[in-house]
Amino acid sequence: MDNTDREGWVYSEVVKEHFLNPLNFLMGDENKYEHDAEGIVGNPICGDQMKMFIRVENDKIVDVKWKTYGCASAIASTSALSELAKGKTLDEALKIGPEEIAEFLGGLPQHKFHCSVLGHEALAEAVKNYRKKS
């Protein structure tokens, strides 16, 4: 049944893993997840939209959850970002950019880069919203 180990994907192994088994995503109703701030980026009309939810303690991101509508690389890159952001201070989290996400994933196809690696913008917005609140 399982064909995931065969070759022939346009994406790297790491992308494949984060796409097939994404980490930290928020299933179902987002109101059921207690969080301190959220940020959103993208547009379903363009084919990609990401939302990041953060929990903050002592200026540190202690938990991250996300939602994504989009292609495999959008799902994988948001999953990767959530791993990168966890445990970081807010200032550190703001420094995570698309290059770092792509590098973490072992590269992404060129035409996918600009539209699908957007999660860091949603994260930055979440941080901004958090600081506005507190």
Q: Which residues bind another protein (CB under 8 A)?
A: 1-4, 9, 19-20, 22, 25-28, 40, 42, 44-51, 67-72, 74-75, 109, 111-112, 115
Q: Assess whether 46 carries a catalytic annotation.
A: yes
Which of 20, 62 has the CB closer to another protein? 20
End-to-end alpha carbon distance in the chain = 51
Question: Of 4, 25, 43, 46, which is the active-site residue?
Answer: 46
Kindly state the smallest distance separating residue 94's Cβ from another protein, in Å. Answer: 22
Kindly state the smallest distance separating residue 64's Cβ from another protein, in Å. Answer: 14
Alpha-carbon dihedral angle through residues 44, 48, 68, 134, given to the nearest 10 degrees: -90
Q: How far apart are CA 116 and CA 10, in angstroms?
A: 15
* Among the listed residues 97, 24, 94, the one whose alpha carbon sits nearest the alpha carbon of residue 59: 94
Kindly state the smallest distance separating residue 128's Cβ from another protein, in Å. Answer: 18
Question: Of 71, 83, 115, 121, which is the active-site residue?
Answer: 115
Contact criterion met (CB below 8 Å) for 6 and 89: no
Which of the residues are catalytic?
Answer: 46, 115
